[in-house]
Chain A
Amino acid sequence: MKMPSARALVLALVPFVAMCFSVSLWDRVKPLVLGVPFNLFWLILWILLTPCCMWLAYRVEAGSDVRATEQ
């Protein structure tokens, strides 16, 4: 099977770093954002940002599909 492109993989790594590996940095109550504890706010923010990352990854992958068929 065709390997995914490196750029798509890097884009997919961004949410993993933000929501998983960096937990020690954001697992805090303060500062409250709109009255919500920071850790909960951070995860909600990344629920919204993850589709943006994956939309870019989709563009990259769709673009590489087009190039693959043109060749």
Chain B
Amino acid sequence: MSSGTVALALIIGIVAVGAVVGFLAGAHRKMDLEQWTVAGRGFGVVLVFLLMAGEVYTTFAFLGASGWVYSRGGPTLYVLAYLTLGYVVSFFILPPLWEAGRQYRLQTQPDFFKARYGNKYLAGLVCVLGMLSFIPYVQLQLTGVGIIVSTASFGSVGRVPAMSVAVVLLVAFVFANGVRAVAWVSVIKDFLILISAVAIGIGIPLVHFGGIGPMFAALIAARPTHLTMPGATAHLGHSWFISTVMLTSLGLYMWPQNFAATFTAKSADTLRRNAVVMPLYTLTLAFIFFAGFATVLIVPGLANGDLALLTVVRQSFPSWFLGIIGGAGALSAMVPASIFILTGATLFAKNLYRPLFAPAMTDEQVARLARSMVIVLGSISLGLAIYGSSTLVSLLLTGYAGVTQFFPGVALGLYWRRAAAPAVLAGMLIGVFTAVVLMSTDRDPVFGLNAGFVALCVNVLIAVVGSMLIPPRDA
């Protein structure tokens, strides 16, 4: 067998095992809307951990982080800080959110805004922004599958067939078993990612430099400024680091799919314990950083930094191991893509279609519509991934600045009785507007600060001052 065949067989085997697990995950359960979207609120610490790890540590996290390390260096360290601190924030936000979820039967993010603020425009805005933010994200995941599988199989599978097979499989298991399938496929994905990350983080420096220490010594000698901020960039210094870490750690659980995962837990205590242990998963990314820094000297001068890691992996490991990494990479794109599609389909059916066009729909009809939307959204994402342009990457960055604008509405809504709908709505609109204007006119960073963070500050100010000006409802 040629090296490409060995790798390809392993990739197919791993993806097949993942798909089978996804199909078995919900067997013998009646899939109503509550089971399909939030698994009947029954997940313990282990399944919540795996589901959330599956959502957060995506293909883009691995290829994107190593790509940034390659092309920008030091500023990429923000990734290690914000993921860890995002869980610290979650310790205080998710347990009361879960309580509200149980009390009002919440399944999605707009559900929360509707229950807390009783304002359909606010809920509608959250729904539309959430759906806009997720489409480019799914497209990126699928592009990731294409790159990984075609590289790991030495080009014997093209990008389009690889993406198509991935979409068919993930649409099928999400359609059948909802969020339960995602959590169980994540078991395999997380295990393989852990092995792959440690192996390439230690292996690449060992093969090319004789170890991690000698690798860093060589890098310090060759590129002394690459390891600290602003690294290879002009403006990404310490104030950018602080504002970006603040923005993204507050925003981590504002992504619609991460927010909704809260409701799958069986108790508020589950989420508190989860917040304590989640940071440890970030250690896998530290290994990706070792590998990423190694690529700077091994393959200098690549135009697309995102390809640096895979290029070096292919030079450094036997083909069977490339197959395992390819399979792990494919699953780590399929898991988040499937939860995004599930969340997007539920948002569309429950929070957009029903309130606008068919208020009389039953939950059962909503569930049926959501499941058919999985197929529609899967096809749209595949189309975007095949024909889409790279400008979608900048849409994704706008997405992070966008979803973080939900934070004041969520945090104030949970902890401050006086937080009022008009103030939160105005803050959110102006916050999103500020972020989009600053980013689309190339003013990011502004005065050394992350533009999304500046927008968030404006948002908080409007939401707080506005709420204080509005007389309390029950006074």
**A13-60, CB < 8 A from B:** 15-16, 19-21, 23-24, 27-29, 32, 34-37, 39-40, 43-44, 46-48, 50-51, 53-55, 57-58
- Asked if B80 and A44 make an inter-chain contact with CB atoms under 8 angstroms apart, the answer reads yes
Across the interface, B84 reaches (CB within 8 A) one of A2, A19, A28, namely A19
B92 contacts A47, C-beta separation under 8 Å: no
Number of A-B residue pairs having CB atoms within 8 Å of each other in the complex: 118
| Nearest-CB residue, chain A, relative to B240 | A23
Interface residues of A, CB < 8 Å — how many? Answer: 38
Contacts of B289 in A (CB 8 A): 40
Residue B433 lies at the interface, judged by CB distance under 8 Å to chain A: no
- Chain B residues 61 to 100 lying within 8 A of chain A, measured CB to CB, are 74, 77, 80-81, 84-85, 87-88, 91-92, 96, 99-100
Name the distance in Å between B123's Cβ and chain A's nearest Cβ: 20
- Which residue of chain B lies nearest to A13 when distances are taken between CB atoms in the complex? B88
Residue of B nearest to A52 (CB): B276
- A23-B241 in contact (CB<8A): yes
Contact A15–B85 (Cβ < 8 Å): yes
B213 and A34: CB pair below 8 A?
yes
Judge whether B216 and A50 touch: CB under 8 Å: no
**In the docked arrangement, what's the CA distance between A21 and B244, Å?**
11
Complex alpha-carbon distance, A1 and B85, angstroms: 23
Closest to B415 in A: A1
- B457 interface hit (Cβ, 8 Å): no
CB closest chain-B residue, reference A61: B272
Please name all residues of chain B whose beta carbon is closer than 8 Å to the beta carbon of A8 when the two chains form the complex. Answer: 91-92
Residues of A near B276 (CB, < 8 A) are 51, 54-55, 57-58
Nearest CB in chain A: distance from B406 CB, A: 17
A35 close to B220 (CB less than 8 A): no
The docked-state distance in angstroms from the alpha carbon of A4 to that of B77 is: 30
Do A39 and B91 touch (CB < 8 A)?
A: no
A68 within 8 A of B: no
Docked pose: A43 CA to B220 CA in angstroms: 19
A29 lies within 8 A of B228 (CB): yes
A25 and B259 CA atoms in complex are apart in Å by 34
Which residue of B is nearest A19, CB measured? B81
A interface, by DSSP: helix, strand, loop or mixed?
helix
Query: B160 interface residue, CB < 8 Å from A?
Result: no
Residues 236-256 of chain B: 1 if any A CB is under 8 Å from the residue's CB, otherwise 0?
Answer: 001001100110010000000
Beyond A19-B85, A54-B91, whether A1 also contacts B74 by CB under 8 A is no
> Which residues of chain B have C-beta atoms less than 8 A from A50's C-beta?
84-85, 87-88, 279
Q: Tell me whether B224 and A27 are in contact (CB under 8 A).
A: no
Give A residues with C-beta under 8 Å from B: 1-4, 8-9, 12, 15-16, 19-21, 23-24, 27-29, 32, 34-37, 39-40, 43-44, 46-48, 50-51, 53-55, 57-58, 61-62
> 9 extra interchain contacts, Cβ-Cβ under 8 A, other than A1-B99, A20-B85, A58-B276?
A12-B91, A40-B77, A43-B80, A44-B80, A47-B286, A50-B87, A50-B88, A51-B276, A61-B272
Give me 13 A-to-B residue pairs in the complex whose CB atoms sit less than 8 angstroms apart, sorted by A's number: A1-B96, A3-B415, A16-B88, A19-B84, A20-B85, A20-B249, A35-B211, A35-B217, A39-B77, A43-B77, A44-B80, A50-B87, A51-B279
